[in-house]
Amino acid sequence: MKYDFDKHIDRENTNSVKYDIREEYFGKKDVLPLWVADMDFETPEFIREAVIKRAKHPIYGYTLRGDSFYSSIIDWMRKRHDWKVEKDWISFAPGIVPAINMAVLSFTKPGEKILIQPPVYHPFFYAIKDHKREILENNLVYEKGKYTIDYKDFEEKAKEAKVFILCHPHNPVGRLWNKEELTQLLKICRRHEVMIFSDEIHSDLILGENPHIPLLSLEEEPTNIISFYAPSKTFNLAGLSTSFLIIPNKKIKIIYEELLNSLHVNMGNIFGAVALEKAYEEGEEWLEQLLDYLKSNLKFLKDFIEKNIPEIKVINPEATYLVWLDFNQLNICDEDLRKFIIEKAEIGLNDGPGFGKAGSGFQRINIALPQLILEQALKKLEKAIKTIR
């Protein structure tokens, strides 16, 4: 079956964060939104049908997750990541951001230090600051259009850190950390007894040749690693608040679940579980077609920018549908760049400094949308940039 990713779907007035808070966020409703990390493609029909089928049952009472919830995850990890996960390693979370916050509360105390690698997904900063923990920044190194890790600095900071939050693949710079890099990070964390939270929410969205390597798959006996996963990015299900953690170490799992249960957020919701199972049971073909479409959008973006807006540099993502754009050549300060993009180009991107100071001079664009609309957005940007050449 051929899926249609070109189809335009009107999301306005559906309480969509991406569309319906534009005025509040950008100060202007009339911006073409390419910001929030969800997709403008339909959630696949086989998932919607499963949700509708369950919705037709007339009672939406208290629910639990059956065996097929776990077996669908186990099968997916085997099929997509060649990784054998066991049922009793899997825990629930109503979202990865809530889960990271719960893990911070469970495994650190106020004043303790947590290491992150900016520019990085902004809720990592809040998960630390909001609970009065301290941020340690191991800024990624940006050289010749690529981001790498400064291990010397990482190790210095790891000496003081209680936890390291890894973003793998990395949002916003699109790096898919390879075996050498992961092994190096693991070694350092082991040496200094640093616990690792590995956020792998984007791990199904691989655009390059290299496969995703689950961090946990590299450890024989992981004592202090939690990995965070969800079908939400892959299948456009973020509004269903259903994700999961993989925690092979029993003691750690019990500690996490004590907090999850004490907050009474372990139940989740009926439709999220139905959607997760269906996605993982039947979603491979759809995902392959999605990846082809995203690759073609990425190529379109790169070609367009290279030809028409060479002032902007595209950081080639190995994974995710989020692309990090370098605007430094324009020599505009961050505040003016943000204003320029909203007011002159009338498109809504994520502002680089939102991902930490290391994001200065950059913007993040979401390319999970029909190519025709991506083209419209890029033309708006080109037109605006022409006025300041």
Chain contacts with ligand PLP (rule: CB under 6 A): 37, 95-97, 121, 167, 171, 199, 201, 230, 232, 238, 243
**Least distance to ligand PLP, CB of residue 230, Å:** 5
Residues 6+ apart with CB under 8 A from 54: 270, 271, 274
Which of residues 44 and 174 has its CB atom nearest to ligand PLP in the complex? 174
**Least distance to ligand PLP, CB of residue 117, Å:** 12
Cβ burial of 295 (10 Å; 0-12, 13-18, 19+) is middle
CA distance 117 to 4: 37
Which of residues 136 and 238 has its CB atom nearest to ligand PLP in the complex? 238
Which of residues 18 and 385 has its CB atom nearest to ligand PLP in the complex? 18
CA distance 38 to 238: 7
Which of residues 267 and 388 has its CB atom nearest to ligand PLP in the complex? 267
**Least distance to ligand PLP, CB of residue 199, Å:** 5
Which of residues 34 and 96 has its CB atom nearest to ligand PLP in the complex? 96
**Least distance to ligand PLP, CB of residue 234, Å:** 12
Helix orientation angle between 270-282 and 284-308, rounded to the nearest 10 degrees: 80
Which of residues 17 and 291 has its CB atom nearest to ligand PLP in the complex? 17
**Least distance to ligand PLP, CB of residue 351, Å:** 15
Which of residues 116 and 309 has its CB atom nearest to ligand PLP in the complex? 116
